[in-house]
Amino acid sequence: MINYPSSKLPDVGTSIFTVMSALANEHKALNLSQGFPDFNCPEPLINLVTKYMQEGFNQYAPMHGMPQLRHKISLRIEKLYGYLPNPDTEITVTSGATEALNAAITAVVKPGDEVVVLEPCYDSYAPVIRLCGGSPIYVPLALPDFSVDWDQVKKRLSPRTRMIIINTPHNPTGAVMTRQDMDTLANLLDGSDILVLSDEVYEHMVFDGQQHYSALQHPQLRVRSFVVSSFGKTYHTTGWKVGYTIAPPQLTNELRKMHQFITFCTATPFQLAIADFMDQEGHYLGLPDFYQAKRDFFVEQLQQSRFELTPSAGTYFQLAKYSGISNEYDLDFAKRLTTETGVAAIPVSAFYHDKTDNKYLRFCFAKSEETLKAAGEKLAKL
């Protein structure tokens, strides 16, 4: 008998996204759980990938990313946020945002360090912190708007705090941090060596005339931050796994040490195609209106239902409270909704370390109107 080593993450099972998508497939349910569009990316972008593949750009890219793409990212950041990062020393192309988050955390978190995590939160943060020997320090977002309680954050900071992770626009709640939030965070960290990991993958999906405020726009935060974004979200290409990180040169140097041993590099033809397509500014500039229309359409479909909801401020997710329908634990309700009603969603307890249940489900509205209408009809019958 082989005495296998004990698990490094004994309490971590299969991702809730995988579980709910598999359940949706099994029961042929409408999948509003996992965050991916059910429509295709722009055809010119596909044509560009094909072009570069046919031209022979099918070998390793430079470890830190194709120079054409890093240059285009730099120019866009300057246009959006008024800061021109050095494409050679501050920008790293990664195999999706999840790899970028992993590399950033791994680069700086050591055994005994603490990392402040605002929850509910994306499920990859805490496992990586723990694998590094660090401790996640959880601070709950304030209900009902899921805003940051900065007084609570301040209370949880300690001499062992290495990093705080923020996410705006926020997955799963759709909340958007304001400039005042960023100012408060900067003041809170002033005089410390605490770093910031700013997950901004939904930066182009902010609604109702609001603006995304990036850590890159705040000089005091920029010098201590890893800022992560995702082309998968922006160009409807989640399966391509292309993201990037912007950080000061010293932090970028440490991140690249991790990146080179996680994935080394990201697919060459995808990088070149995206670099060319970035000239089509109408696409990303049109995303707020594009996704707000989908949000509004989905919310309208649920007006006759017993779900309670406040329209999402950002991302392509909508929370819906179901306490008027059932008192079931949210995972149980989500599974029953999938198997009996034919609509799959994500239980928000999955985004809490202690599985806190506030009777919310997260629905993805990055879907066709046909899908959203069909889902609304089913949900309105509950």
In terms of C-beta density within 10 A (0-12 exposed, 13-18 middle, 19 or more buried), how is residue 17 classed?
middle
pLDDT in tens, 339-355: 999 999 999 999 999 99
Mean pLDDT of 144-159: 97
Q: How far apart are CA 371 and CA 127, in angstroms?
A: 33
Strand pairing class (30-31; 343-344) = parallel
pLDDT attached to residue 221: 98
Whether the Cβ atoms of residue 342 and residue 28 lie closer than 8 Å to each other: yes
Q: How far apart are CA 186 and CA 220, in angstroms?
A: 6
The pair of three-digit structure tokens given for residue 176, joined into one six-digit string:
């958007």
Q: Which domains does the chain have, with CATH numbers?
A: 16-41+285-379 (3.90.1150.10), 60-280 (3.40.640.10)
Element (H, E) at 195: strand 195-199
Mean pLDDT of 117-145: 97
Q: Please, what is the average pLDDT of the chain?
A: 96
Q: What count of other Cβ atoms lies within 10 Å of the Cβ of residue 161?
A: 19
pLDDT in tens, 297-326: 999 999 989 999 999 999 999 999 999 999
The pair of three-digit structure tokens given for residue 31, joined into one six-digit string:
């999948």
pLDDT attached to residue 12: 85
In terms of C-beta density within 10 A (0-12 exposed, 13-18 middle, 19 or more buried), how is residue 281 classed?
exposed
Burial profile 54-68: b = 16 or more Cβ within 10 angstroms, e = fewer: eeebeeebeebbbee
pLDDT attached to residue 279: 94
pLDDT in tens, 250-300: 999 999 999 999 999 999 999 999 999 999 989 999 999 999 999 999 999
pLDDT in tens, 171-218: 999 999 999 999 999 999 999 999 999 999 999 999 999 999 999 999
pLDDT of residue 164 exceeding 90, the answer is yes
Mean pLDDT of 124-135: 97
pLDDT of residue 1 exceeding 90, the answer is no
Whether the Cβ atoms of residue 175 and residue 314 lie closer than 8 Å to each other: yes
pLDDT attached to residue 13: 82
Q: What global pTM score does this model have?
A: 0.96
- In the chain, % of residues over pLDDT 70: 100
The pair of three-digit structure tokens given for residue 245, joined into one six-digit string:
């990180």
